[in-house]
Amino acid sequence: MNRLFAAIAVSLSLVSLVLAQAGEINVVPKPRSIILGTGKFGLRKDTKIVVRDEKGKLSANLLNEHLFKKYGFKLKIVNKPEKVNAINFWPIALDKSGGYPDEIKREKYSLTVQSESIQIGGTYTGDFYAIQTLMQMLPAQFAKEAFLPAVTIVDSPRFSYRGMHLDVSRHFQPVEFVKKFIDQMAQYKFNNFHWHLTDDQGWRIEIKKYPKLTEVGSQRPETMLERNFAPYKGDGIPHGGFYTQEQIKEVVAYAKARYITVVPEIELPGHASAALAAHPELGKGCAVADYKFEVKKTWGIFKEVFCPTEETFKFLEDVLDETIKLFPDSPYIHIGGDEVLKDFWKESAFVQELKKRENLKDEHEVQSYFVQRIEKFVNSKGKKIIGWDEILEGGIAPTATIMSWRGMNGGIEAAKAKHDVIMTPNDFVYFDYGQGDPEFEPLNIGSYVPLQKVYSFDPVPPELTTDEGKYVIGGQANIWTEYLKTPQSIEYMAFPRMLALSEVLWSKKEDRNYQNFYERMLAALPRLDKQGVNFRIPEPIDVGGFLLNETEAYAFEVRPPLPGAKVYFTKDGSTPTENSPEAPQKISVFPVGDEVVTIKTIVVLPSGRKSSVYAATFMRGKMLEAMTVENPKEGVKFNLVVPDNESQNRSGETKTILLNQFAMLADLKKDLGVQYDGYFKIPADGVYQFQIESTWDTTLVIAGKKIIDESGTSANVKRNAILPLKAGLHPISLRYNHRGGDSTFRFRWGLKGQGLRQAYGSEFVH
């Protein structure tokens, strides 16, 4: 055995796990109660399905459809009792009113496998979920018989609202993919599909009364190329698309057959550029008269906002009226309400007049007035509104359900005010956020929400009492598609994180165990592969930064994360290919002196699909000790030097390291030098990565070590360095020398392998 030493193992993958054993119940989400029996049931082609009523027939047909898809055959359906070689769907007793007492009971089921037969008990919905469980338990291959272990499962969900959101405005997605996504939701027992149909970059729902919404609002001439905000660079490719009302009905019916409610979102009063490009008259009275509204080609928060005129309310009521008719089974209409910039309202004589007339104190109250008028209309049609947590500002609409996305605070406030809450906090369940090292992951919006973080999500935060917690009706992950153009890219971000969320929302909190989940998730991946889902392939090694002491080697196991997968690796920093060495069981690393060794791996599935690069970086030495600073003040000292105009030279203190703070002092397109000095706050011991993205020359010194020192060109370049640091304050000096043209200067940092983000001013002191 090698002696191993790793001072820090930034480890998120559980690579040493053995795949779950055959015979275990590898079901996701974990059922409420599982009691293993003895023996096994062999499903054969002559097994019969026994039904006793209409419910049973429907469920039997559904099971047959699944069996046909999986094994290519259907079973005979009979209505006479069979003691052996049978799957029985039992009728269930309704309550006295003839209905099911509540949603949760409606979703409950029991599934008993004995060696002679299988018994399934539940409502229509319960049977549906029992079939999802059964299909996960059946082996991939059928050879004369497919064996199921004897077991009694009794199952029901923890939350009544189990949601997935999909933004089809930023990038339109075809109906076929939406259906595939719904199939996957059903497989993991989600029951609400939040369809984000309108936003600045495209209006995607046909409204018969206003055809321009889709004629104009669903099209944009091009989209920003990658992340080229400034200077803007477009891809030159027109993008567009919308769903006809017939297609929407088709999707709603498809979802309904899978016990999924589709909740449409019509964004208001902000995120309205596409609607306003089609109907500029609805922004007039707020924006200046000749304001040019357009379907946006970039991402962010825009000033474009509906003007709260009677004409606008009439328009929105018409739109909502048609929308409500298309989604008859949804108790909710989501009206957005997030990220509304109030600039146009503040400048508008009309809005100022409205404030006086309606006694509204500020523009937040104008937003509240806007939302409450819409709420009244939606309520009058027998529906309730959902809004993002910003609708709490300026006074909450009386019957609104709050979708808390800026963390959980909005949800906590709403639950305390006795409003229903759906938790979708960005730091746990934004599936557009990165899952790994941004150096290797496909381009995404940034940040870092790995699988384990999703699994650690609890929709009921400790700030709520038991009674307040009851207002949390569930949770949801959101998939915003700014950087996700294709179904494959959406699936990459959704899976396997969706499996973790399904367990958060369905399974008992007391049963939460990441290691156990991870094993069941691994067992689910070959099935997802067969279903053509482009999930993110699990890491075959512990990724991240590792610090070794002076003398020791690091040896680790590399295991294919899935049966039949191959792992290839390099030790010289190059990107592995299928021609690189195939991983042996163990790799050993021995950095010499200051050498930094990076092991890069890729995984290739039996289907030929390749993973992103997963890397582990090793270095020697000690973590650098933190310093104490007397009377620290937030921010850094700066020194600005303008060689061609010394009168513009400045030094002082600042709370940001962005260059645009000097735009009023000097011409940022001419030669200049900026240096920032201070201390950087490191939150925890670890191997950190620092990155400067810049044009021209840049230097980064941390704790006396010059870790970046390069001259650049007019092109953006990212420079990276890593350093092991103890928690606390470390001296930092950042220098940027601009030599003309457009400038870029960004400082990002993070634990190695776990995503990078821009540093806040509050993370520096001097």
CB of 419 to ligand ACM, least distance (A): 17
Per DSSP, 217 falls in state T
- Give the nearest residue (CB) to ligand ACM: 338
Choosing from 196, 271, 738, 766, which is the catalytic residue? Answer: 271
Decide if 427 is catalytic.
no
Footprint on residues 385-424 left by ligand ACM (CB under 6 A): 388, 405
Nearer CB in complex with ligand ACM: 321/427: 427
Contact letters (x/-) for ligand ACM, 560-599, by CB under 6 A? Answer: ----------------------------------------
Among candidate residues 321, 339, 634, 685, the one labeled active-site is 339
- Closer residue to ligand ACM (CB): 476 or 570: 476
Nearer to ligand ACM by Cβ, of 334 and 600: the residue is 334
- In the complex with ligand ACM, the residue whose CB is nearer, 89 or 433, is 433
Give the angle 445-451-454 at the CA atoms, nearest 5°.
85
Residue 181 touching ligand ACM (CB under 6 A): no
Measured from the CB atom, the residue of 474 and 724 that comes closer to ligand ACM is 474
- Contact between 344 and 286 under an 8 Å Cβ cutoff? The reply is yes
Read off the tokens for 681: 């706050």
**DSSP of 157-178:** -S-SEEEEEEE-SSS---HHHH
Q: Which listed residue (107, 155, 167, 199) is catalytic? A: 199
- Least CB distance from residue 339 to ligand ACM, whole Å? 5
Binding mask 492-531 for ligand ACM (x = CB under 6 A): ----------------------------------------
Pick from 24, 183, 250, 338: which binds ligand ACM (CB under 6 A)? Answer: 338
Q: Report the nearest approach of ligand ACM to the CB of residue 172 (Å).
A: 19
CB of 711 to ligand ACM, least distance (A): 39
| Shortest distance, position 640 Cβ to ligand ACM, whole Å | 35
Q: Which residue has the tokens 């010059």?
A: 706
> In the set 24, 318, 322, 339, which binds ligand ACM (CB under 6 A)?
339
Nearer to ligand ACM, 341 or 707 (CB): 341
Q: Which of 298, 716 has the CB closer to ligand ACM?
A: 298
Q: Which is nearer to ligand ACM, 86 or 429 (CB)?
A: 429
Residue tagged 């609400």 (tokens): 192
Residues 676 and 453: their CA atoms lie apart, in Å, by 34
For 553-590, the DSSP string reads: -EEEE---SSTT-EEEEESSSPPP-TTSPBP-SEEEE-
DSSP 537: P
Shortest distance, CB of residue 754 to ligand ACM, whole angstroms?
22
- The pair of three-digit structure tokens given for residue 469, joined into one six-digit string: 């917690």
Reference 732, options 686, 763, 696, 710; nearest CA is: 763
557-561 contact pairs (CB < 8 A, 24+) = 557/15, 557/16, 557/585, 557/586, 558/15, 558/583, 558/584, 558/585, 558/586, 558/587, 558/601, 559/15, 559/16, 559/585, 560/603, 561/13, 561/15, 561/522, 561/537, 561/603
Active site residue 766: no
Query: Considering the complex, what minimum distance in angstroms separates the CB of residue 761 from ligand ACM?
Result: 23
CA atoms in the 13 A half-sphere facing the CB of 485:
12
Residue 361 Cβ, how far from ligand ACM at the closest point, in Å?
25
- Greatest Cα pair distance in the chain: 97
Q: What SS3 string covers 8-57?
A: CECCCCCCCCCCCCCCCCCCCCCCCEEEEEEEEEEECCCCEEECCCHHHH
| Dihedral over Cα of 58, 263, 100, 404: its sign | positive
Rank residues 473 and 626 by Cβ distance to ligand ACM and give the closer one: 473
List the structure tokens of 701.
């010194």
| Between 137 and 386, CB nearer to ligand ACM | 386
Q: How many H helices and E strands in the chain? A: 18, 36
CB of 432 to ligand ACM, least distance (A): 9
Q: How many residues bind ligand ACM (CB under 6 A)?
A: 4
CB 190, min distance to ligand ACM, A:
19
Question: CB under 8 Å to 44, separation ≥6 — which residues?
Answer: 85, 144, 145
| β strands within 405-457, DSSP E | 421-423
Report how far residue 397's alpha carbon sits from residue 387's, in angstroms, rounded to the nearest whole number: 9
**Residue 2 CB, nearest approach to ligand ACM (Å):** 47
Could you tell me which of 261, 385, 414, 253 has the C-alpha nearest to residue 316?
A: 385
Treating both helix axes as pointing N-terminal to C-terminal, what angle do 514-530 and 497-506 enclose, rounded to 10 degrees?
120
Using alpha carbons, list the distances in angstroms from residue 177 to 168, 182, 483, 497, 536: 11, 9, 17, 18, 18
- Which CB sits closer to ligand ACM, 322 or 339? 339
Dist CA 312 CA 681 (whole Å) = 49
Here the tokens at position 597 are: 């060794």
The single residue listed with the structure tokens 């940034």 is 446
Number of neighbours of residue 547 by Cβ within 10 angstroms:
23
The smaller minimum CB distance to ligand ACM, of residues 103 and 339, is found at 339
Q: Which residues pair with 456 in a beta bridge?
A: none
Q: How far is the CB of 496 from ligand ACM (least distance, A)?
A: 22
Q: With respect to ligand ACM, which residue has the nearer C-beta, 49 or 391? A: 391
46 belongs to the catalytic site: no
Backbone torsion region of residue 152, taken as left when φ is above 0, otherwise alpha when ψ lies between -120 and 50, otherwise beta: beta
Return contacts of 577-586, CB within 8 angstroms, 24+ apart: 577/602, 578/604, 583/540, 583/558, 584/558, 585/557, 585/558, 585/559, 586/555, 586/556, 586/557, 586/558
Neighbours of 488 (CB within 10 A): 13
Residues ≥6 apart with Cβ < 8 Å to 194: 163, 164, 165, 166, 263, 265, 334, 476, 478
Least Å distance, CB 634 to ligand ACM, is: 28
The residues that touch ligand ACM, with contacts defined as CB under 6 A, are 338-339, 388, 405
Catalytically active residues are 199, 271, 339
